[in-house]
Structure 1
Amino acid sequence: MYKRQKIQFLMIFLLLSFNFLSVIEVKNSQYYFNEKGSQTKAVLDWTVMLYFCADSRDYYVNSSLDNSDNFINDALNSTIYGLQAWYLAAGSESDLNVIVLFDAPYSSANPYGRAKIYKVEYQNVIFLDDWGSTNMGDGDILEDFINYCKANYPATNYALTLSDHGRGYAGYCYDYHAPHPSYDYALGDCLTVEEVGDAIFNSGGVDVLFLNTCLGGSFEAMWEFTDCVDYAVAGESTQTYKCLHHPKDFLEGLSADPTMTPFELAQLGFDKAVTPDHVPLDYYPEQWPTVSFYDLTAFTSTTSPTGSPVNFKEVFEDFCDILFDELYQNITLKRPFFASIRNETLYSEKVFSSKSMMIDLRHFIETVLTHSHEFVNQDFLESYGSLLVYLLTPGVGKPIVDEEHLPADPFLYNSGDKYANCTGFSICFPNTYDMYQEYLYANFYEDMDISTQTTWDDFIFSVYPQPPELPFIHIPEWYEIWINPIDPVIDLHIFLEGDPLKHIGACPPKATPYSMGIELGVEGVEYVDDFLTGKQTVLIPTSSFGPMTKADKPLFEIEINAAGATVANQQLDLTVKLVNGTTVLWEDSQQAIFNGGEILSCEVSSNNEMSDLEPEEPPATTTPPETTEPPTTTPTNSTIVDMSPTGFIGPAYAILLSSSSLLLVISIIVVIRKKKKM
């Protein structure tokens, strides 16, 4: 009897094991074929590629490897969790592929982040591949991801979403743990506009591009993408974190109707940015502050007000030539003329940060037209300028199909007339020669298509030329303060003693939003920040100090604020000289090693003595930047970064599997008992 029961138990165990093993075998086979691409895939209606850069930062990279609590990671995890749990339609995987490259931030097991590829379905997330520690700011990685998706998940239409920080013409998707190609400093490597364009073009192009980033609606970027993207959705201004939840809305709609055309999906993406359904509720308005729907095919083929065909790119090229020619009619007089026009186009920090050096394109053209009577070529300017304004006014068949921005509403946070002059495209136009603060990629602007195909870059660089070589000999006697090398996010401040205290150096936050971040509080001072070599030099005329009553009275204090520094134990060289003409009257130098977060200071006295650089107490904690996410309501189990290689079984499938197994066991027991009675 005991032997018979033992055999019966063994039979039940083997049957149950076979049932579960068959499921595991199917899952592992799917994983194998997805990774190797050896199985012929059906061509579905859509493949949507989500490039999720969660190995990111709240604001600056710092000396710690641990960036696990950044709000980008929280929002992107919430998006994937929401898609599989609620928003993707059941059965939509037969018409729609949703593939995500998710680069997770720091963990104790993966201190430099770890990128994995998943397929997201209704109530299921399937692990596909492990790319390890990956630089999402490398254009080759983006190209590899697009090629991977197209090879393994072919479709009639393709959409690509980039989700992370963005800086318009200066790039997207900043990888916290990847080294910056030019500097070991504060932002990490990123995808330049040129890299994004090359990656999409080399992989065969996409039908729709969603830029769920800040400052995505860059004219330079859209110009770059015209040969590889048909439609795009992005916002020209800074955004709130809510744009990171955008895929929940447009993929819910696409999964319900995968027969959408690319134009219809882009329109849906725009509509859901204006009135989203699935974003966290908090004190921010629900919509994006600004968002536009771009038709990039219209850059080379659109229609004029008379209905005749016109090439939008060629019209803009001609307009740039008119500006450039006008500037060189009399460059001495025209530089301040154009600088004055540029500074009529001022924007709130909530639209473009002072360091972004951006203006709204149509707003600028309209401002130029108000000065047309001052142009030598007035007729040409008015003709081309008016045509550009018409072509930049939203409409089907135009470069901007639709545009929305927050209305003035005193009861809404982050709204108001500050967005009134946002019309769809941002473009770079600095108001000083202190250019490219924090956007340090040597020659990256000159290498973009808009710079090689138009004279726009020649124009803006001629309005604000690079400063001459130091020293500036028109100052008869001066103090020269020189520091090198220096991380660009380290601030140099010089305070001249007196009442009131005079300041030279980086502006306090929000103090002068239109100054490009440099404050010159002393007449005659020269300030040069050479970002490409990491050197900062300040020249202060001795006439700025006034009469001295004591021989040892402090003249000025030098403060080096490394609160945002990314590199610990960095060496700093400081030199102070008193110069008259070509003669150095006095000079003193010192070196110091500082840690990230320190503030070092010293004093120079009227009898030409310099004290040692000493650390100060760190400043009081300031309010976090606007991009910091408020507390999230995302479920705590939303993380996906530690999923098993076979993914997880959806609830409905798990119930079905358990039920069938239970029925099998009951049937076997009934049969055995009947035999026993016989």
Structure 2
Amino acid sequence: MSTGAKKKAQWTVLGYLAGDNNLEGAAIDDINEMEAVGSSDRMNVVIQVDRAADFNQSNGDWRTTRRYYITQGADRKKITSKLLKDLGETNTGDSRVLQDFMRCAVQDYPAERYLLVLWNHGSGFYVPPEMMVGEGAPSPREMTTRARAKMRRSFFHTTRQEVFSQEPRKRGICYDDGSSDCLDNKELQQVLSYMQTRLDGRKIDVVGMDACLMTMLEVAYQIRNQAAILVGSEETEPGEGWPYDRILADLSAKPTMPGADLAKCIVDRYIESYEEPGPFDQDVTQAALDLSRLGDVTAAVDALAKALLQKLPSVQTKGAIVTAWQRAARFFDNYYVDLHHFAENLGELAGDAAISTACQGVKNAIEGRGAASPIIWERHLGEGMTKVKGLSIYLPPLKNPSDYYRTLDFAADTKWADFLDAYLT
């Protein structure tokens, strides 16, 4: 892929499109959206896209993984960009594949700032192992407690059946149907850490998750030392995902914009793209998080967990938690809750001064009242999103919380996992 020394652009956009699944057609559409703007001497757009065999037959129906330097093209049905390399069949769930793409792109297309877009299916920090029942089928209880949401863009699962059929330890980010593998958040952390060494210790300026359910406190905390800003949705995304033509047009018009401005632009353009009536009503949300400002909200959640642990196994406290959870905006079939909305409800219901004070602390940290809020910008649409603030947290409806949760940095550094164990046993 090397093309010799190049002058630094203002931005290099790295798109990692894991399309070896039922989103293959959406991947092709998004590449064509990118080509509506293309690269310039001040903005590089470099992508790596893996395709599937069964969902889209356009562009010669090639089945391998390709790298492209995105150039401007008017044909919205055909990829016309410069092909850099055909890699053959790859596993987008292998961290080495992502790492190699980023290394080559940064080496050959250096820039002052970098946006990494992880494009595919997604479901927050992890698909809980307790989903596995028998031969991989969900239990009747689980199916009755989980919402029958429409299938949309989600990083970790392609269909409900595939979620349940995969080995628990092989679920995570960038789902690849061809290899039944994916990245998990710890692997993503390791790849971003490696890239820091290639960037002389600098963080990736913006990590964008064009996927479902990714602006979780746990996900943000996992990559806080490797990335400056995280942009994504705490809700499922419609299949169209991000409007790349609008986002890249803004960046092309103002290539000197800092990371926070680009993050706000992504949020605005995403929400605007769903304001017009579509085939069905959309509940959408998008948020930009400053990962250097997670300290106050993390400490507030830790304080809330400690206050709750002091009162468990009190029937009154458990009842307040259940009711607060029921009233809160929930995601991923009820496994995640909007953190602010849950704290707001629990503070009103707890009947305990310590818990109510801790809930107010969580709200203050998210709102930036006497605390450093990580929320740079947040917008939403739809009746179901009126109370969301852009940041979710793991609070499942069933007993036996995920064993994998304990391996996350957030679980190690706070008492939230201890609270879950006490509450769900």
Say yes or no: TM over 0.5: yes
The amino acid across from 2:321 in the alignment is I
The yes-or-no answer on 1:341 pairing with 2:292 is no
Residue 503 of structure 1: aligned partner = none
SS state at 2:387 partner: coil
Q: Deviations over 1:258-300 (max 9, x none)?
A: 11111111111111012139x9973245x76111121112113
Residue 91 of structure 2: aligned partner = 135
Whether the 8 Å CA contact 1:346–1:359 is kept in 2: the answer is: no
Residue 340 of structure 2: aligned partner = 362
Distance 2:25 2:368 in 1: 35
Alpha-carbon offset, residue 421 of structure 1: 3.0
Residue 415 of structure 2: aligned partner = 455
| Structure 1 stretches of at least 4 aligned residues deviating more than 6 Å after TM superposition | 183-187
Change (3 A) 1:371 1:232: same
Unaligned runs of at least 5 residues, structure 2: 74-79, 128-153, 197-202
Change (3 A) 1:292 1:390: same
Alpha-carbon offset, residue 221 of structure 1: 0.5
TM-score (norm 2): 0.78
The yes-or-no answer on 1:94 pairing with 2:41 is yes
The yes-or-no answer on 1:105 pairing with 2:52 is yes
The amino acid across from 1:232 in the alignment is L
Alpha-carbon offset, residue 431 of structure 1: 2.1
SS state at 1:450 partner: helix
Change (3 A) 1:447 1:135: same
Distance 1:41 1:167 in 2: 37
Whether the 8 Å CA contact 2:121–2:157 is kept in 1: the answer is: no
Q: Deviations over 1:605-626 (max 9, x none)?
A: xxxxxxxxxxxxxxxxxxxxxx
Residue 290 of structure 2: aligned partner = 295
Distance 2:205 2:170 in 1: 36
Distance 2:105 2:248 in 1: 17
Residue 422 of structure 1: aligned partner = 388
Change (3 A) 1:372 1:210: same
**Of the candidates 92, 100, 124, which is equivalent to residue 168 of structure 1?**
124
Distance 1:51 1:347 in 2: 37
Change (3 A) 1:42 1:94: same
Distance 2:311 2:195 in 1: 41
**Of the candidates 254, 258, 261, which is equivalent to residue 261 of structure 1?**
258
The amino acid across from 1:432 in the alignment is L
Alpha-carbon offset, residue 196 of structure 1: 1.8
Distance 1:425 1:55 in 2: 29
The amino acid across from 1:106 in the alignment is A
Alpha-carbon offset, residue 340 of structure 1: 4.5
Alpha-carbon offset, residue 99 of structure 1: 0.6
Higher relative contact order structure (alpha carbons within 8 Å, sequence separation ≥ 6): 2
The yes-or-no answer on 1:122 pairing with 2:41 is no
Whether the 8 Å CA contact 1:112–1:133 is kept in 2: the answer is: no
Whether the 8 Å CA contact 1:238–1:351 is kept in 2: the answer is: no
Q: Which has the larger share of helix?
A: 2
Alpha-carbon offset, residue 351 of structure 1: 5.3
SS state at 1:398 partner: coil
Residue 373 of structure 1: aligned partner = 351
Q: Where do 1:463-482 residues align within 5 Å?
A: 463-465=423-425
SS state at 1:404 partner: strand
Q: Deviations over 1:613-646 (max 9, x none)?
A: xxxxxxxxxxxxxxxxxxxxxxxxxxxxxxxxxx
**Of the candidates 51, 68, 72, which is equivalent to residue 16 of structure 2?**
51
Change (3 A) 1:145 1:181: farther
Distance 1:181 1:353 in 2: 19
Distance 1:246 1:288 in 2: 16
Alpha-carbon offset, residue 242 of structure 1: 2.3
Distance 1:95 1:358 in 2: 40
SS state at 1:273 partner: helix
TM-score (norm 1): 0.50
The yes-or-no answer on 1:398 pairing with 2:370 is no
**Greater gyration radius:** 1
The yes-or-no answer on 1:75 pairing with 2:35 is no
Alpha-carbon offset, residue 347 of structure 1: 6.5
Whether the 8 Å CA contact 2:95–2:188 is kept in 1: the answer is: yes
Unaligned runs of at least 5 residues, structure 1: 1-34, 58-71, 301-310, 407-414, 437-442, 466-678
Residue 233 of structure 1: aligned partner = 231
**Of the candidates 183, 186, 189, which is equivalent to residue 194 of structure 1?**
186
Change (3 A) 1:174 1:189: farther
SS state at 2:377 partner: strand
Distance 2:12 2:397 in 1: 43
Q: Deviations over 1:276-328 (max 9, x none)?
A: 39x9973245x76111121112113xxxxxxxxxx44333323322222332x
